[in-house]
Amino acid sequence: MRNRIALCCLLFAGVLAASASAQSQAQPGPITAIKAGRLIDPDSGTVSTNQVILVQGEKISAVGPNLAIPTGATVIDLSRLTVLPGLVDAHTHMALTYKEQPENNYYYLTVVMDSTALRAIQAASNGIQLLNAGFTVIRDVGNNGLYADTALRQAIEQGWLPGPTVIPSGIIIGSTGGQLWPTPEMYKQHNIVYPEYLDANSPDEIVRAIRENMLFGARTIKLCIDCKPWGYSVEDIKLAINEAAKGGCKVEGHVQTPEGAQRAIDAGIYIIAHGNALTPEHHRQMGEKGIFLTGTDTPFTRYRGTDAAFKQVVAKLRDAWEKKVPLTFSTDFDYWNDRMKDEKTGEWLSRGDLTIAFIETWKAAGIPPADILRAMTITGYKAADIIKERGPIKQGMYADLIAVAGDPLTDIDALRNVQFVMKNGMVFKKDGAMTAEKFFHPGPVRIPSGRWTR
């Protein structure tokens, strides 16, 4: 007992020392002055010209026209560019890349063949590729092995590597089997496709699963509402929302049936994932209640999708926009194939290029650029539940901002060519160049023998 008290004292002293050093880190650092030729406020869809943004340490200390630049400040001249908040992918999967080789695009097999350790390294690479494309925030909602997502968040927050702010869900919670249909051997022995899903079949198990995820670093909770015919009831979902709130988390519901969508709406869920099962009536209710949609609106490209599926996705997105659903930009990007190359140059597209390509769906839906930009920024920050500290370019917020040539308010494709990225007040990309860019790929592009091997 005595030893235990001594150990507690030691631990407590350690915590105190850690918090003291955190305070010293919080001291404002050197000043950077950014000259912004054009500065977009995506919330209002307006532009101000010739602005100066002062950044001290990690945060914005002042914004305005003709601000005096303090002596000794580092000046970054973006006077020929358009500056805007960093972009948000509100539904993606950093530590999952299912492939044609070796798993025939079947993520049961990804789970079996790729360790969490390998997936965590993929996640780190994907995070860097997304940051390079201007995404400074991602919601990473499951299918990340045994918590590669929360490890990625921690690693970026701790400063091990550059990457977006990650809002991870931990393991997806579902009733028996999650999204998969495991065999009796897989299910009963719980050692093959697990930990991809956390089984929670009763109120007690739902509470336990949520607490477990939050214990391991989740910042949002993801529920499979109707992945099985029995699914979760309105009461189950309300219980989950209530429990998640205790740890500061909002709940996203994966829905794939109209009935499941209705239960999620009735329970007052924060976010509904995937637009496929939603009807105009669901959109109307979501617009009225302010329920966010992470529609994961896949474009039809050379390397993915079909024209018929695309037309359906476009029509649903259009209807959701008309019904004023709070729309986020979201991709569900978690796959790779060897057709993912630039048609003209033959070079690999990065995970960032492949992510930003989702604006094609939004353009096809005839959504005005200002509304697309709002979905990609302000609404994304709200859905990620970090709008109080990140997003708007104003005093007191983290300095997460990007710059592009041209005007995304009239030509959304301007976002495809991000020239400058600042995250937490640090410059990650300048004059269009991240020097390590060529090292990163959206999949295992180097297979020396030509055949997959561990």
Shortest reach from residue 410's CB to Zn ion, in Å: 32
List of E strands, 70-206: 74-85, 87-92, 98-99, 135-140, 165-168, 172-174, 197-199
Which tokens hold the place of 98?
Answer: 């299912």
User: Whose Cβ is closer to Zn ion: residue 331's or residue 377's?
Assistant: 331
Residue 332 binds Zn ion, judged by CB under 5 A: yes
Q: Which residues contact 172 (CB under 8 A, 6 or more apart)?
A: 141, 142, 143, 178, 179, 196, 197, 198, 222, 223, 224, 254
Shortest reach from residue 154's CB to Zn ion, in Å: 21
Of 43-51, 188-196, 328-336, 418-426: span binding Zn ion (CB under 5 A): 328-336
Give, in order, the Cα–Cα distances in Å from 382 to each of 154, 242, 400, 437: 21, 19, 15, 30
Shortest reach from residue 334's CB to Zn ion, in Å: 7
Q: Which residue has the tokens 């670093």?
A: 217
Give, in order, the Cα–Cα distances in Å from 25 to each of 62, 190, 269: 21, 43, 37
User: Whose Cβ is closer to Zn ion: residue 256's or residue 337's?
Assistant: 256
Which tokens hold the place of 87?
Answer: 């972009």
CA 295/CA 368 separation, integer angstroms: 17
Shortest reach from residue 214's CB to Zn ion, in Å: 20
Shortest reach from residue 130's CB to Zn ion, in Å: 15
Shortest reach from residue 93's CB to Zn ion, in Å: 6
Do 59 and 25 touch, CB atoms closer than 8 A?
no
- CA dihedral over 409, 318, 300, 174, signed as positive or negative: positive
Of 96-104, 194-202, 329-337, 425-433: span binding Zn ion (CB under 5 A): 329-337
User: Whose Cβ is closer to Zn ion: residue 226's or residue 400's?
Assistant: 226
Shortest reach from residue 147's CB to Zn ion, in Å: 17
CA 252/CA 249 separation, integer angstroms: 10
Give the interface size with Zn ion as a residue count (CB under 5 A): 1
Shortest reach from residue 441's CB to Zn ion, in Å: 21
CA 84/CA 48 separation, integer angstroms: 11
User: Whose Cβ is closer to Zn ion: residue 36's or residue 384's?
Assistant: 384
Shortest reach from residue 223's CB to Zn ion, in Å: 12
CA 134/CA 356 separation, integer angstroms: 9
Of 227-235, 325-333, 358-366, 429-437: span binding Zn ion (CB under 5 A): 325-333
Of 299-307, 327-335, 345-353, 357-365: span binding Zn ion (CB under 5 A): 327-335
Q: Which of 130, 126, 52, 54 is nearest to 87 (CA)?
A: 130
Of 94-102, 162-170, 283-291, 330-338: span binding Zn ion (CB under 5 A): 330-338
Of 24-32, 177-185, 206-214, 331-339: span binding Zn ion (CB under 5 A): 331-339
Of 64-72, 162-170, 219-227, 326-334: span binding Zn ion (CB under 5 A): 326-334
User: Whose Cβ is closer to Zn ion: residue 35's or residue 316's?
Assistant: 316
Q: Would residue 425 be called left, alpha or beta, if left means φ above 0 and alpha means ψ between -120 and 50 degrees?
A: left
Shortest reach from residue 141's CB to Zn ion, in Å: 6
Give, in order, the Cα–Cα distances in Å from 121 to each of 94, 114, 164: 10, 11, 15
Residue 252 binds Zn ion, judged by CB under 5 A: no
User: Whose Cβ is closer to Zn ion: residue 141's or residue 151's?
Assistant: 141
User: Whose Cβ is closer to Zn ion: residue 51's or residue 330's?
Assistant: 330
Cα 139 versus chain centre, distance? 3
**Which single residue brings its beta carbon nearest to Zn ion?**
332
Residue 297 binds Zn ion, judged by CB under 5 A: no
CA 22/CA 152 separation, integer angstroms: 20
User: Whose Cβ is closer to Zn ion: residue 149's or residue 332's?
Assistant: 332
Shortest reach from residue 340's CB to Zn ion, in Å: 19
Do 291 and 325 touch, CB atoms closer than 8 A?
yes
User: Whose Cβ is closer to Zn ion: residue 92's or residue 132's?
Assistant: 92
Cβ-defined contacts of 256-264 (< 8 Å, 24+): 256/226, 256/227, 257/226, 258/282, 259/226, 260/225, 260/226, 260/231, 261/225, 263/225, 263/226, 263/231, 263/232, 263/233, 263/234, 263/237, 264/225, 264/237, 264/291
User: Whose Cβ is closer to Zn ion: residue 253's or residue 443's?
Assistant: 253
User: Whose Cβ is closer to Zn ion: residue 227's or residue 409's?
Assistant: 227
Q: Which residues contact 184 (CB under 8 A, 6 or more apart)?
A: none
Binding site for Zn ion (CB under 5 A): 332
